[in-house]
Every structure is written in C-alpha cells, then in structure tokens.
Amino acid sequence: MSSDGAMLDTLEETEELRLEVRGPWQEAWRRFKKDRFAMFFLIIFGAFFLLAFSAQIVELVQGDQASYAKSLGEMGYDFPDSHAAPTTKAFPLALFGLDWSGRSVLLRVYHGCKVAFLVGTCGGLLSVLIGMTLGLLAGFFGGWVDGLIVYLYSTVASIPYLLLMLAFAFILKQGHFAEVYRESFLSSYLSLGLFNIILVIGMTSWVSLCRLVRAETMKVRELDFVQAARSLGFGKFRILFKHVLPNVFHLVIISFSLTFVIAIKTEVILTFLGVGVDKEPSWGSMIAIAKNELMRGIWWPLAAAGGMLFLLTLSINYVGDALRDALDPKLKD
C-alpha cells in the first residue's frame, strides 16, 4: 500500500473516532434513550407538564371566572343531579362525572394538575438547592463548616417531620408574614396557601439529600483527578462545581424525583388538615372532600384525583431512576 493510501486510512479512522466522541450530556441522553419504559414515562410526564402549563394560561385569561368554579348548569348544560356519575352527555366535561356542586370533575382534575406541578417542581427545586449546596460545602471544606452544617441538619432531623411541617405551615398561614405576602406581587400569581406549601416543603425535606451529598463529596474530593486539579492550582470553587458536583449530581436527580412525589403528598396532608390550598382546585382538596362522599357511593372524584396522582408519581419515579443511571459516571454500558 502506498504512503498516500496509508495516510488516507489513518485520517478516516481518526475522523470516525472523532465522530464517536460525545459530551457528558450527549452520552447521558444516549444511555437514557435505550430504556424504552423511561421514554414512555417521559412522554407521560411531558403530557402532564403541558396540561399544567395550559391550565395556568387558562386561569390567567379567565381570572376569577375560571371554568373550574362554575357548575355545568351555569355553563348551559342540564344536569338535575349535582353528583352525576361519569357520562358522555356533555362530553368531555362530564366524562369524569360531577362533584357535589355540579362542577366538572374533569376540569377540577385538569386545573389541579397545575397545583401539583407547582408544588412538586418549586418545592422540590428549593429542597434540592438547599440540600445540595449545604452538602457540597460540608463535604468539600470540612472543619468548622462541616461541623456547623452537621449540627444544623441533625437539629432539623431530630424534630418529627409531620410536626415540623405543621409548625411551619401554621406560622406562615397567619400573622405578619401572611399580611406582607398578600401585599406582594406574588399574591397575584400564587395563593398564600400554595406559596406556604412550597416553602414548607423546601425548608423541611432537604436533610436526607444533604447527608448523601456530604458523604459522596467527602469520598470524591480524595480521588486522583481532584488531587490533580489541586496540584495544577485550580481554585476551590472551580474544583467543587466542575469536578466534584458532576460526580454527585445523580444523587440530586433521584432526590428531586422523590421530593416531587413527597411534595404532592404533603399538599394532600396539609390541605386535609386545613392549612394547605384553599382558594383553587387541587388533587388534595378533591381527595379531602371525597372522603365524605364515599359513604354515599360517590367514588368518581376520588378515583379521578387518585388515578392522576398515581400516574404522575409513577412517571416521575421511573424517569428519575433512569436519569440517575444515565448520569452516574460510575455506571458504564
């Protein structure tokens, strides 16, 4: 073979190798796509997100005259029984039946999707941000920083979670904070009860992630590539966010998926106890009201809210597990 041919083959092999090189996010996406169930549940989760987003747009357009607050009688449909069972008579509004005041269960489930996403997403992000930041600082710097953060999360963890959650909820529900919030611009977009739930979840559910990230950071900071970065003179925060954080981020992903589910359940509990969402439809309020309706054989409001809750939590749990496996640098195909 001539030297020109050998050089051409070498160039082709080099080009093939170059094309196979992927970035970390491209590699994670490639591994994630291999799980067909994960892709299926990602589509379901995306559908829920679109429902929640569109419900927010509809509420902004309709204002106080939101469709979920009207009975089907006010909309021009003739339903003598306010608790009408699921029917196609006024398809699709009566597909899931009517509640105690003749309102469409389908519309209330639809608008409740917005509340679930706001609580799960905002509460989960706030919790993850607090837990990840404190865990990274404690595990990487050690010393008095570690001692202070360990003391903080040990104190929070020593208080029963339900009591801590209720204490925060009652404090935020009334008093000076409530008055200040009602005068703020946020009150036009989020009710006080919904905002309180997001804060309560963020301030009470970060401890487990903080512990996990702290322990993993203490292990990663002693690895060779981190020591090499230190020997090259890289700054501490550059090492922390560029070399340590990517190796513990899979813990953040799975923690967010778990907190998302916990947040929705927390909304149900707080709403049931009277310190949660009170001025807008939510799956929690539907479940709380349905407990009295079951005695009279009215099961469809509970089935609709419970079914949507089950499907959303199942999808986020499966997608979270798949993302954790795809983003974990220690797991290779």
Domain annotation covers residue 218 = yes
Domain annotation covers residue 12 = no
Mean pLDDT value across residues 235-245:
84
Q: What is the pLDDT at residue 285?
A: 83
Domain annotation covers residue 142 = yes
Domain annotation covers residue 1 = no
How many CB atoms are closer than 10 A to CB 173? 18
Domain annotation covers residue 332 = no
Q: What is the pLDDT at residue 148?
A: 93
Are 193 and 173 within 8 A, CB to CB?
Answer: yes
d(CA 242, CA 253): 17
Domain annotation covers residue 10 = no
d(CA 88, CA 98): 12
Tens digit of each residue's pLDDT (9 = 90 or more) over 74-117: 776 776 667 777 777 777 777 888 887 778 888 889 888 888 88
Are 318 and 247 within 8 A, CB to CB?
Answer: no
Q: What is the pLDDT at residue 19?
A: 42
Q: What is the pLDDT at residue 14?
A: 53
d(CA 154, CA 133): 16
pLDDT band for position 151 (cuts 50, 70, 90)? very high
Q: What is the pLDDT at residue 325?
A: 76
Mean pLDDT value across residues 170-183:
76
Query: Which residues form the domain of 190?
Result: 25-82+89-327
Task: Give percent of the chain with pLDDT exceeding 70.
Answer: 87
Domain annotation covers residue 164 = yes
Determine if residue 103 is left, alpha or beta; phi over 0 gives left, psi from -120 to 50 gives alpha, anything else beta: beta
Q: Which among 54, 56, 110, 123 is positioned nearest to 261, based on CA atoms? A: 123
pLDDT at 17 over 50: no
pLDDT band for position 1 (cuts 50, 70, 90)? very low
Q: What is the pLDDT at residue 257?
A: 82
What total number of domains does the chain contain?
Answer: 1
Q: What is the pLDDT at residue 5?
A: 53
pTM of the entire predicted model? 0.79
Average pLDDT, the chain: 80
Are 320 and 259 within 8 A, CB to CB?
Answer: no
d(CA 218, CA 214): 6
Domain annotation covers residue 2 = no
Where residue 35 sits, what CATH number does that domain have?
1.10.3720.10
What's the gap between Cα 117 and its chain centre?
7
pLDDT band for position 329 (cuts 50, 70, 90)? low
